[in-house]
Amino acid sequence: MLQHAPVIHLLAPFYAAIIICIAGMWRKETAYPIAVTALSLSLLSAVATLIKVGIAGPVIYAMGGWSAPFGIHFHIDALSALMAVLIQVVALLTAIHSRHPIHSSIGEKSYLYYPLFLLFVTGVTGICQTADAFNLYVLIEVSALTSYALIAMGEKRSVHASFNYLLVGSLGATLYLLGVGYLYLKTGTLNMQDLNFIMTTRELFSTPTIQVALILLMVGLWIKMAQFPFHGWLPNAYTWAPSPSAALMGPLMTKVMVYVMIRFMISVYGLDAIVDSMWTTWVPYLAIAGIVYGSLMALSQHYLRRMVTYIIVAEIGYMVGAAWLATELSITAAFYHVISDALMTLALFLCIAAMRVRHDIRSIHDMENIFKKMPITMVAFSIVALSLVGIPPTSGFISKWYLISAGIDAGHWPYIIALLLASFANAVIFFRIFEIGVFGKKPAEGHHHEESHDKKYLSEAPFSMLIPCLVISASIILLGIFNQPFIEMISTTISSISGGEVLQ
Amino acid sequence: MDLQTLLVSKLNYWIFVILMIVGIWAIMSKNNLIKKIMGLAIFQAAVILFYVSLASKEHGTDIPIYPHDLIHPEHHGEVDHHVEEDSAKAHGAYEKHETAHHEEEHVKHSDDHDAHAEKDAHHDTHGDHQEAAHGVAHHDAHAPIADSINADDFNNPLPHVLMLTAIVVGVATLGVGLSLIQRVYRIYGSIEENEILEAIQNASDDGLTLQPEEEAAAQQE
Amino acid sequence: MENMQSNLPLIACLISLGAVLPICLFGEKRRNLREASTILAGILKLSVVCMMVPLIAGGKVLNFTFIEIVPGIELAFKVDRFGIIFALVASSLWIVTSIYSIGYMRGLHEHAQTRFYAFFAVALSTTLGVAFAGNLLTLYVFYELLSMSTWPLVTHHQDKEAREGGRKYLTYLLGTSVGFLLPAMIFCYLKSGGNSLDFSQNGFVSSFVNEPTVAIVLLLLFVFGFAKAGLMPFHSWLPGAMVAPTPVSALLHAVAVVKVGVFCIIRVFTGVFGIEFLQELDIGQIVSYIAAFTVVVSSLIALSQDNLKRRLAFSTIGQLSYIILGISLLNVYGITGSMTHIAMHAFGKITLFFCAGAIFEATGKKYISEMVGIGKRMPITMIAFFIGAMSVIGLPFAGGFWSKFYLVWGTIANEQPVLLITFLASSLLNGAYFFPIVFKAFFCKPEESLFEDKIEEAHPAAVIALSITAIGTVMLFIFPNPLFDLAKAAATQFLS
Amino acid sequence: MKVFQTIIAVVLGALLIYAEADFPAWASSKSPANAGELSQYYIKNIYDETLVPNMVTAVLADYRGYDTLFETVVVFTAGLAIFAILGTGVMREKKTAVPAPKRIYSEPPFDLIVRISTRMLVPVIQLFALYVLAHGHHSPGGGFQGGVILAASFIMLELSSDLRAEAAKLTHRMSIWLGIIGIVIYAGWGTLSLFFGGHFLDYDMLQALFPLDPLMARSHSMLIVEVGVAFTVSSIMLLIFRQLVSGGYSIPDKQA
Amino acid sequence: MIWSYDAILLILIVITAIVSLSIKDLISATITLGVFSFLLCLLWAEMGAVDVAFTEAAVGAGVSTVFLVATIYNTTRKSSD
């Protein structure tokens, strides 16, 4: 059954969604266990695929038995296998986390919430594995539609935010579709490997159609990943969404679009075609604008959730900037940051949701003495904060290390300065929170006052929300220390793809 | 290339560009939410126009359906012929299937892609792929019609398939958008963007708590 | 100089980290047990470090590699003579500071003492991490963790000034380390072809840097990157951190933070650039002039400070620049002097801080103008203060004399009249801002004295601690040889 | 603000026109897309490999069956999403009587002509819908078109007569059920081929189930898949219409 | 693929698109959009894309117009721009 693993971890959430639809109508509480078991099964098969890819190189799974350009097929190399594992991990932890918030806020409709949740995971996993450009559009639409509904089930203002997201998201997806159309017009195929093969053999890269196709594809993907000028929809959408949806879509939706951008850059257009194009000059400056904008806005926010959304915008700036420095090292750095940033964003959302559920904390000023009230969650929160600032043992430091070395390697000093300023802004943000969290809000006159140590004061987050927080912050540290295998796998794949001999 | 030929030979693409501009302009600058959704629908229709117009060929090409006489060339007294033909076909097909499936399995996984990757002529790999499937020429009536078709007198079917999907996806997005508009109307009592933003601004609470649904109130009036 | 695999350095680091658990578990209810576990951990740590001393003195280098974080670099410990000197100073003074803080914290009924002791222990383990670091990356890792773990200590009082001090502390330390240090380190890593950043005999920078301008920029990036050393433009976090309780400022100024800054700069000079390379390019001059400027200006500012702790803070900035001046002389005497001055200044300055804390705890006085005639009331404290002052000024009968002697000898060996004058002038200035305090305390006219004649010392634990360090300062003067042999051997090894 | 948007639209237009100069002539069969290896292969080999005269249905259901599966999933997701977004009203008012908006459920003005003509037309439309579904192979049509026309017939019925009575016959729970049945047929058929050693959605394995040659197996499985699609599309389109018209206050099921 | 018939259809399509966006009354705007879709369906049929024409007619024009009217029914009919 192992050779069907790529399909298994796609179908497991899909079938689970259907089962929940059926079972949920009678007994609401069956939704949660089915979701968790399905996601753990798909995680297992995703890890199996990753190991198989690690050993035997890229796995090609032809859908419907048709060979390369005629049918749709999966081309799973190390990048897509890693993304698949990342998605299953994030989805599983969010599913475990979501029991309490979903039960309390939209309990009676949980039999609708979980199918949408699982269909989103199916769509996003499909995006990571497919090798067909048009199929990618359909999967983007699947995940987009589910995310509109997942957002709209939140607070009062989430409905209008979801509508704006729908308009901008569909615009972006349709621009992507148009870009694929331009590619098809010029090359005649839809399969990514085939596109690259034809574009290199006929040296089509310089023709205006392919250039405009690149512009359309990139603008479409930037809209979907909320890169700086097109990020308008993200802050509202993820601030008012229910916390499990924000925890699911925050790390996944934008990061998968970065993966798609990298996939198009190296597998379809080819790195050597992109290096000498004028893109590598002006796109990093756009990314720098995004980093500076995101960091400044995050500094000025009081609501925790809105602050995290602006941090996401800044992090997207890191990845796009690094990717478009267009050297193998910089794309490795960008991809590693995709993974580490997904984990960090998820951890932030989970901790904030835990604080919201137990102590109704929404803004920075509510976080008085939170370290005493919820010590374990705050330990997880501070690990993530240190990782975002870039303090050594965490994965944030390693990704910052590789991003800066990519900057130095490409000699792009403004990008490095922007990175350092952003990590300093993160430091200010999080230490402001630590100050209020550890030392309380109103400065105590003199320093003789008692503190309350009674039991009522100390109330930790519910068990099902605490475990994901701890697992994620532990994985951030572990990913930081044991990062070599991941870096190794990513860089060999990227160099083999762009190293000329295009792996079929 | 003087204007006349430029305009005439690519009229479709000009109209596609105009519709794109109309669509995007409507999405961004229209104040009414329903008008925005209609702008989105027009924008998607423009993309469909682009795809379908790149699929059609010179005048006189046929719709992508095989005409009846091409498929069943001989129709005289096919009743008895039919039975015998079926059994032959079944037998021939079964045996052909064995090799084809095996061939296909083998071809799919290993050499097909390497052949694909090599620079040599594309066509022959597909030739032998085809022969392999038909290598064991079954001798019944259903002779392969592949080589008897001239590919140029049929429209290209692929964009049509893609556009089928795009239209259905467009309608699905339209449905979700309209349901969101109804919820927005229930909450804010209007579907004009400026009025909604005002309602959000002076909403006393920061929109965080799920108030006892205003929808019920909006619904009553 | 053969290497020896051993996990002693790891154990030394982890002891104090391990101590955090019992401290938190015992917490506020069983205070004595908590304090006992801190001191026990201190003693254990000192014993492990002492176990290493004979091995190191015998010429061995203990190293321990953990995991390869970045291709080519592992989290590795490499303990050599210089590292062991600093480790000895840090772990011994931790015991004394713990004793002192029992007295101080209980005397003033401070709040959140568990948090204080826990973070204190974490700070010490990261200090030893820096001392034993084998390459630039491990050094950076523990350098950052030290800034993180000392921040809650600085903002211990949780009032307005404490928070301002904490913010300033972080802005300077994080800003310079992420702003200057990280890019410089990555630049070295990339340009050196991705091989390791280990502190080798004559440094790895020489392999890829040839024209002096790049070397100077890189050196300045490193020197200003380690803002903990308090060089002039990035020094103002130090007086700002005076809001912390005295054991913390003692930790900051004598035991851990500033010493780590200077230690890292010496590591950069010897391990990253290599002394010959610097001599050859002759770029030590710039750093020595910056240090000289810092010495003079900080001594002048110290003169004008009325708050005792702020005056001590500025004197620390001056003393640190002595050490940087010493290393930038790039000759045997300079390097020996700077290494030993770390130890001498540590003992001297910690005594002064303990006395300042004792005065505050007993009488609540912070300002020097209020301390006229305090000698009659707290004789032991003021005598210890006098000994500490003598060591910092560099007069005989106190350890500081020897290290300053070597530093001055270094300047003469280099025929640098300007530096010689700065040394002597600053010693005079040190005297100018320490001796008035002592004279006013003991020899003031009876009518001016603000205190009655009865003797009323601070908390006994505090008095014991400050007397131990005062005696230590004197012992260092009488038996300087063990320390100086280690330092000379290390200096010659760096130069050969 | 309006000026800014027009500028953006015009810039995009200019970009597209810039690329247009490089387009191949409009309807030229030599253009890479039309002369490309992919479309040539499809036009030449579809009938030989799938025995389905309608190339579009063949490519839609077989060659790119995975695409169509996820297209059906898009439709199903849209149904679920709308039900989740609009349904919130229903759940809260379960306890109180459903404050059904007066206009919709009141008896529409009795209009004999409309009522009778729709009652006569609906069966014809449904027959045509089934014809379109069944003849997807030979003539234009297929799962999607058939499903929508089926849904259109139900919508016509509901618009002309009392919505409450009609809705009671086919509750929203039932339409979700039908949607699920459709998807299960499609995806189930694809997964079935996994057990017979083929790849996902590989229709050759029907031949292992029934004594048919693989070509017939392919065309028949395409029909089955089209039926699945029709199920989903018809029920979900009806659900969406019902939700949009009633604004989420769908009639509570009998047992609720 | 008669070129002149094609050109007329295209011009009509553009006109109906612009008109449907500029009408104030939403119901008539929706009907105009329906006309726009049916013209598109005619264009596809004329260009040889029969399947797409059928889908556009059934799904594009038919159902979306019904959905739009249903939504307008539940919200307001007048629009400011």
Residue-wise burial string across A345-355, b where 16 or more C-beta atoms lie within 10 A, e elsewhere: bbbbbbbbbbb
- Out of C28, C159, C178, the one facing A447 most closely (by C-beta) is C159
Q: Where are the alpha helices (DSSP H) in A301-390?
A: 304-323, 328-359, 370-373, 375-389
Residue D28 has pLDDT above 70, yes or no: no
Give the pLDDT confidence score for residue A95 in this predicted structure.
Answer: 92
pLDDT digits (tens, 9 = 90+) for A18-45: 999 888 777 777 888 999 999 999 999 9
Do C159 and A446 lie within an 8 Å CB cutoff? yes
Please count the structural domains in chain B: 2
For the cut 60, the answer to whether the pLDDT of residue A319 exceeds it is: yes
How far apart are the C-alpha atoms of A230 and A227, rounded to whole Å?
6
Domain count along chain C: 1
Chain D residues with CB inside 8 Å of B169's CB? 71, 74
For residue D171, is pLDDT > 80?
no
Find the closest chain E residue to D246 by CA distance. E74
Q: Which helix (H) or strand (E) holds D110?
A: none
pLDDT at residue A498 tops 80: no
* Farthest-apart Cα atoms in chain E, separation: 43
**A211 or B2: which leads in pLDDT:** A211
- Number of structural domains chain A divides into: 1
Residues of D in contact with B29 (CB under 8 A): 1-2, 5-6
User: Which residue from A386, A393, A401 is facing C70, i.e. has the nearest CB?
Assistant: A401
Give the strand order in the sheet containing C61-70.
Answer: C3-5, C61-70, C73-79
**Number of compact structural domains in chain D:** 1
Tell whether B136 and B166 lie within a shared domain.
no
Q: Which residue of E has its CA nearest to B176?
A: E67
In a domain, C336, yes or no: yes
Among candidates C155, C128, C154, which has minimal Cα distance to C141?
Answer: C128
Residue B197 sits at the vertex; the CA angle it makes with B193 and B198, to the nearest 5 degrees, is 120
Q: Is pLDDT larger for residue B116 or for residue B24?
A: B24
B82-91: Cβ within 8 A, 24+ apart: B85/B140, B85/B141, B85/B142, B88/B138, B88/B139, B88/B140, B88/B141, B89/B138, B89/B140, B89/B141, B89/B142, B89/D213, B90/D211, B90/D212, B90/D213
Closest CA to A94 of A119, A125, A110, A118: A118
Residue D67 within a domain: yes
Task: Name the DSSP letter for residue D158.
Answer: H
- Using the predicted structure, report yes or no on whether residue C25 has a pLDDT greater than 60: yes
Task: Give contacts of D194 with chain A, Cβ < 8 Å.
Answer: 4, 7
Pairwise pLDDT comparison (C177 vs D110), residue with the higher score: C177
Minimal CA separation from A164 to chain D, in Å: 15
**Would you state the structure tokens that stand for residue E75, as one six-digit string?**
């919200």
Element (H, E) at A59: strand A59-62
Identity (one letter) of the amino acid at C250?
A: A
Per the CB < 8 A criterion, the answer to whether A258 and A323 are in contact is yes
Q: Are C337 and C407 in contact (CB under 8 A)?
A: yes
Which residue of chain D comes nearest to A22, CA vs CA?
Answer: D177
pLDDT per residue over A86-116, tens digit each? 999 999 999 999 888 887 777 667 788 899 9
pLDDT above 50 for A420: yes
pLDDT tens, residue by residue, E8-44: 888 999 999 999 999 999 999 999 999 999 999 999 8
* More confident position, B132 or C194: C194
Q: What is the mean pLDDT of chain A?
A: 87
Contacts of A389 in chain C (CB under 8 A): 174, 178
Q: Which residues of D59-80 are buried (b: 16+ CB within 10 A; e: fewer)?
A: bbbbbbbbbbbbbbbbbbbbbb
Q: What is the mean pLDDT of residues D64-69?
A: 90
Counting residues of chain D whose pLDDT is more than 70, the rounded percentage is 81
Phi-psi region of B19 (alpha: psi -120 to 50; beta: other; left: phi over 0): alpha
pLDDT value of residue D40: 81
Task: Give the integer Cα–Cα distance in Å for B180 and B178.
Answer: 5
- Range with top average pLDDT, C272-276, C465-469, D94-98: C465-469
Give the Cα separation of C425 and B115 in Å (integer): 84
Whole-Å CA distances, C344 to C337, C392, C403 = 10, 8, 7
Q: Which residue in the block uniquely carries the two structure tokens 């594992």? A: A85
pLDDT at res. A427: 92
For residue C361 the two structure tokens come to 């705890």
Q: How many Å apart are CA A88 and CA A210, to the nearest integer? A: 35
- pLDDT grade for B102, boundaries at 50, 70 and 90: very low
Section B191-199 average pLDDT: 89
- Neighbouring-strand partners of residue B62: B154
When pLDDT is cut at 50, 70 and 90, the band that residue D234 belongs to is: very high
Number of H helices, E strands in chain E: 4, 0
Calpha distance A161→A170 (Å, rounded): 14
Chains E and B share 3 or more Cβ pairs within 8 Å: yes
Q: What is the pLDDT of residue D93?
A: 38
Does a structural domain hold residue A473? Answer: yes
Confidence of residue B74 (pLDDT cuts 50, 70, 90): low
With a cut of 60, say whether residue A327 has pLDDT above it: yes
- Non-local (6+) Cβ contacts of B108 within 8 A are A62, A65, A67
Label residue A224 exposed, middle or buried (CB < 10 Å: 0-12, 13-18, 19+). buried
Q: Which of B148, B179, B203 is the last residue of a domain?
A: B148
Looking at beta carbons, which residues of chain D come within 8 Å of A208? Answer: 18-19, 21-22
> Is B24 domain-assigned?
yes
Instruction: Report how far residue C407's alpha carbon sits from residue C271's, in angstroms, rounded to the nearest whole number.
Output: 21
Please check whether residue D20 lies inside any domain of the structure.
Answer: no
Q: What is the mean pLDDT of residues A113-142?
A: 93
Q: Which residues 23-82 of B have a C-beta within 8 angstroms of E?
A: 23, 26, 30-32, 34-35, 37-39, 41-42, 45, 48-49, 52-53, 55-56, 58-65
Share of chain D above pLDDT 90, in %: 21
Instruction: Annotate A436-447 with DSSP letters as a single string.
Output: HHHH-SSPPSTT
Residue D160 belongs to some domain of the structure: yes
What share of chain A has pLDDT > 70, as a percent? 94
Please check whether residue C194 lies inside any domain of the structure: no
Give the sign of the dihedral formed by CA C294, CA C299, CA C302, CA C303: negative
**What is the nearest CA distance from A332 to chain C, expressed in angstroms?**
13
- Please determine, for residue C225, whether its predicted confidence score (pLDDT) is greater than 90: no
Residue span of the structural domain in which D188 resides: 53-246
A258 neighbors A334 (Cβ within 8 angstroms) = yes
Q: Which are the contacts of E54, defined by CB distance < 8 A and separation ≥ 6?
A: D132, D140, D141, D145, E41
Percentage of residues in chain A with pLDDT exceeding 90?
51
Q: Are strands C61-70 and C3-5 parallel, antiparallel or unpaired?
A: parallel
Residue D123: pLDDT band (50, 70, 90) is very high
Q: What is the distance between the alpha carbons of residues D76 and D74, in angstroms, rounded to a whole number?
A: 5
- Per-residue pLDDT of D197-216, as tens digits, reads 778 888 877 777 777 777 78
Which residues of chain E lie closer than 8 angstroms to D144, CB-CB?
A: 55, 58-59
Q: Which whole number is the average pLDDT over A204-233?
A: 89
Same domain flag for B118 and B87: yes
Contact (CB<8Å) C190/A447: no
Residues of the domain holding B45: 3-60+156-220
How many other C-beta atoms can be found within 10 angstroms of the C-beta atom of residue A38? 26
Q: If you average pLDDT over residues A248-261, what whole number do you get?
A: 93
What does the alpha-carbon distance between residue C267 and residue C136 come to, in Å, rounded to a whole number? 9
Around B83, how many Cα atoms within 13 Å sit in the side-chain half-sphere? 2
Question: Tens digit of pLDDT for each residue in C55-76?
Answer: 888 878 888 888 888 887 888 8
Q: Which of D54-58, D100-104, D204-208 has the highest mean pLDDT?
A: D54-58
Is the ipTM value over 0.85, yes or no? yes
Least confident of A424-438, C187-201, C373-387: C187-201
Q: Is residue D47 part of a domain?
A: no
Q: What is the domain extent for residue C427?
A: 283-496
Residue C476 one-letter amino acid: L
Confidence of residue C188 (pLDDT cuts 50, 70, 90): confident
Residues D245, D248, D249, D253, Cα dihedral to 10°? 110
CB C342 within 8 A of CB C450: no
Torsion sign over Cα D31, D37, D41, D44? positive
Contact A435 C163 (CB under 8 A): yes
Query: Which of B121, B148, B175 is at the close of a domain?
Result: B148
Instruction: Compute the count of residue pairs across chains D and E with CB atoms less than 8 Å apart.
Output: 47
The distance of E53 to chain B (nearest Cα, Å) reads 9
Torsion angle in degrees (nearest 10) through CA of A226, A229, A232, A233: -30
Structure tokens at C44: 């254990």
- How far off is chain D from E64, nearest CA to CA, in Å? 10
At residue C195, φ and ψ (nearest 5 deg) are -85, -175
CA dihedral A250, A255, A261, A265 (to 10 degrees): 160
D11 near B CB under 8 A: no
**Type of residue at A442:** K
Answer with the one of B96, B121, B148 that is the final residue of a domain. B148
Which residue would you say has higher pLDDT here, B98 or B199? Answer: B199
Distances (CA, A) of A179 to A43, A129, A156, A259, D16: 33, 20, 36, 17, 11
Taking CB atoms and an 8 Å cut-off, how many pairs form between chains B and D? 205
Q: Can you tell me which residue has the tokens 């599966």?
A: D69
Give the phi and the psi of residue C64 in degrees, each rounded to 5: -145, 120
DSSP state string for C352-397: HHHHHHHHHHHH---BGGGGTTHHHHSHHHHHHHHHHHHHHHT-TT
pLDDT of residue B179: 92
Residues of B in contact with A163 (CB under 8 A): 33, 177, 180-181, 184
Q: Which helix or strand (DSSP H or E) is residue C194 part of? A: none
Lowest mean pLDDT among A399-408, A435-444, C87-96, D246-255: D246-255
Task: Note whether B143 and B184 are same-domain residues.
Answer: no
**A53-67, A115-129, A152-166, D200-214, range with the lowest pLDDT:** D200-214
- Name chain B's partners: 3 or more CB pairs within 8 A: A, D, E
Give the Å distances, CA to CA, from E74 to B88, C150, D248, E80.
63, 62, 11, 17
Q: Does A368 reside within a domain?
A: yes
* The pLDDT value given to residue A503: 42
Establish if A231 belongs to a structural domain.
no
Tell which wins on pLDDT, D19 or C418. Answer: C418
Closest by CA position to C403, among listed C395, C290, C82, C87: C395
Give the pLDDT band (50/70/90) at residue A458: low
Chain C residue numbers with beta carbons less than 8 Å from the beta carbon of A420 are 178-179, 182-183
Measured CA distances, C69 to A478, A486, C11, C66, C140 (Å): 11, 11, 21, 9, 13
